[in-house]
């Protein structure tokens, strides 16, 4: 995500990231389907008010991953019904990147995943002390406590272990066999 970058600059950065992530993690471009296609990455993340998922699918192809940003249960249901492969849900907690957004809280994640196995990535103000009330920064400790059927993956993007831990265990949303 680099909202202030021009298309050429973003394409160059994306190509570098593609080399760095090859075989280790999916590379998903935020909102720029043109850049995603030019760089031949794994998928796109579409904002809640972006192109409809079906239109995006027509542009990126049936084998690429499409994520949809959502802020409420209705938007999550829409993402599921439109054929998104996963949802980026947030802001969950107060966040410095979106200081004016009212946090939705963990209940939103619970509501979305209650009757669904749809993959959800919780974002926004998520830190180790909020995920683990004991403040354990080790992801193996608190990820191990999740129920096996739970589909919530929390990214703590700015902690030192994010690159080392998550790159080795890339979240790979299920690829739907599309006709």
Q: What is the mean pLDDT of each run of 10 residues along the chain (179 residues)?
A: 84 92 86 95 94 94 92 94 90 85 87 83 74 58 46 34 34 38
pLDDT at 163: 32
CA distance 155 to 35: 24
- Alpha carbons within 13 A on the beta-carbon side of 133: 0
Instruction: Quickly list H helices, the chain.
Output: 7-21, 33-39, 53-60, 73-82, 106-113, 128-131, 139-143, 161
Question: What was the pLDDT predicted at 141?
Answer: 54
What pLDDT does 46 receive? 96
């Amino acid at each position: 995500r680099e909202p202030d970058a021009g298309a050429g600059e973003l394409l160059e950065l994306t190509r570098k990231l593609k080399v760095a992530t090859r075989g280790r993690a999916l590379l998903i471009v935020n909102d720029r389907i043109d850049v995603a296609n030019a760089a031949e990455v794994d998928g796109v993340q579409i904002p809640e008010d972006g192109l409809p998922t079906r239109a995006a699918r027509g542009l990126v192809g049936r084998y690429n991953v499409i994520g949809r940003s959502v802020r409420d249960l209705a938007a999550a249901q829409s993402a599921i019904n439109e054929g998104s492969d996963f949802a980026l849900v947030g802001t969950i907690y107060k966040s410095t990147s979106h200081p004016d957004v009212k946090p939705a809280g963990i209940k939103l994640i619970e509501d979305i995943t209650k009757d669904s196995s749809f993959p959800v990535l919780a974002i926004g103000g998520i830190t180790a002390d909020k995920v683990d009330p004991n403040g354990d920064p080790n992801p193996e400790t608190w990820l191990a406590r999740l129920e096996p059927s739970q589909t919530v993956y929390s990214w703590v993007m700015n902690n030192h272990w994010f690159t080392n831990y998550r790159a080795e265990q890339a979240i790979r949303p299920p690829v739907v066999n599309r006709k």
